[in-house]
Amino acid sequence: MAHYLDHAATTPVRPEAAQAALDAMTRNWGNPSSRYEPGAQAAGALEGWRQDIASTLRCAPEELCFTSCGTEGDNWAIFGAVALNRRKGKHIVTTAIEHSAVLEPCKELERQGYEITYLQPDRSGTIPPEAVQRALRQDTILVSMMLVNNELGTVLPVGETARAIRESGCAALLHCDAVQAFLKIPFAPKELGVDFLSVSGHKIHAPKGIGALYIRAGLRLPPMLYGGGQEHGLRPGTEPTAQIAAFAAAARLGYASMARDTAHMQMIKEYALSQLSARLPQVVQIGAGDAPHILPISLPGYKSEVLVRFLSDRGIYVSSGSACHKGKPSHVFAALRLDKAVQDGVLRLSFGYDTQHSDIDALVRALGEAGEQLLQSMS
């Protein structure tokens, strides 16, 4: 029996989302731009799906553009915001623990002559609000801060950052990567005070290859592509209606059960902590871990890549950090300045609405076996 404990990497597609995609491909397959009945039906369905997702974010449908993923939304927001504010300065503020989808665009902008301030986390894994205030300057044109860190589960002070920008008087636009926060903690872009916000479908039990970017009303990003005028003329190309239909179904269902699901994930997380602490006293919890679905731990003295393979051989699936690292050391855990033995043994557990106590029990048993069978690293 498999025990999947890596929901922060991706989630299994809900049957209802898969059915919605199938219906869009077999019954509502028209091109939304076509001017005859099948096209008109597809166009109406498309706007209904956009409304469904907008309702979960409590924003206007016209403030959402569909993207292929969170990475696309992050890149579009960052480069677009810089283009909008290009005459007002060349200073950008972000955090050292952002997803690579934010850090890599910032590195590219550094190569183009922009100055980037990377805010460092405290030992709990969050960014102190006063650090943001100190970093802002009159020539700051963009701040990019995620809402929930994908490896630590810490909730970052996005709302406080929006207030700091307003109080500073600078022209900075605020982008938020909310991929790990969507349907895991309550928020709305307007309440946070952000200008752009990225979400992704495959983190909420929709297929891979679909996401959305919130663009605050009144802002107009430069088009990502040029073509037929779809997505308000900002991201033209025939819409992937099957993926959008599945995204809307997953968002609608996830929003309806969000309180119950997050309470369940929090309960599983607390159960995991209690069982790990009772049976494996050497286990270390890393960071504050505010979000209900992410729990980073470490087995000091062991190598995380060895532990991941050991667990995988027993049908237990966890990660040593973000799946996007592809085995490379995590910049997030490095930013916490952990002891080397702790950093080397890091595992990220992440839970879904269907994670069971039996999944945790299997993990704890297997980690106990690892402690008995694997040689500790001498590093």
Active site residues: 324
The rounded distance, in Å, linking the Cα atoms of 52 and 49 is 5
The rounded distance, in Å, linking the Cα atoms of 157 and 160 is 5
- In the sheet that holds 346-350, the strands lie side by side as 284-285, 294-298, 346-350
Report the b/e string of 292-324 with b at 16+ CB within 10 A.
Answer: bbbbbbbbbbbbbebbbebbeeeebbbbbbbee
Residues 224 and 235 sit within 8 Å (Cβ to Cβ): yes
The DSSP code sequence of 83-134 is: HHTTTT-SEEEEETTS-HHHHHHHHHHHHTT-EEEEEPP-TTS---HHHHHH
Read off the tokens for 147.
């809402």
Read off the tokens for 44.
């109406």
**R_g over Cα of the chain:** 21
Please state, as a whole number, how many other Cβ atoms lie within 10 Å of the Cβ of residue 4: 19
The rounded Cα 145 to chain-centroid distance in angstroms is 11
Q: Which residues contact 218 (CB under 8 A, 6 or more apart)?
A: none
The rounded distance, in Å, linking the Cα atoms of 314 and 62 is 47
Residues 344 and 303 sit within 8 Å (Cβ to Cβ): yes
Residue type, 351: F
The rounded distance, in Å, linking the Cα atoms of 24 and 45 is 9
The rounded distance, in Å, linking the Cα atoms of 215 and 185 is 20
> What phi-psi label fits residue 315: left (phi over 0), alpha (psi between -120 and 50 degrees) or beta?
left
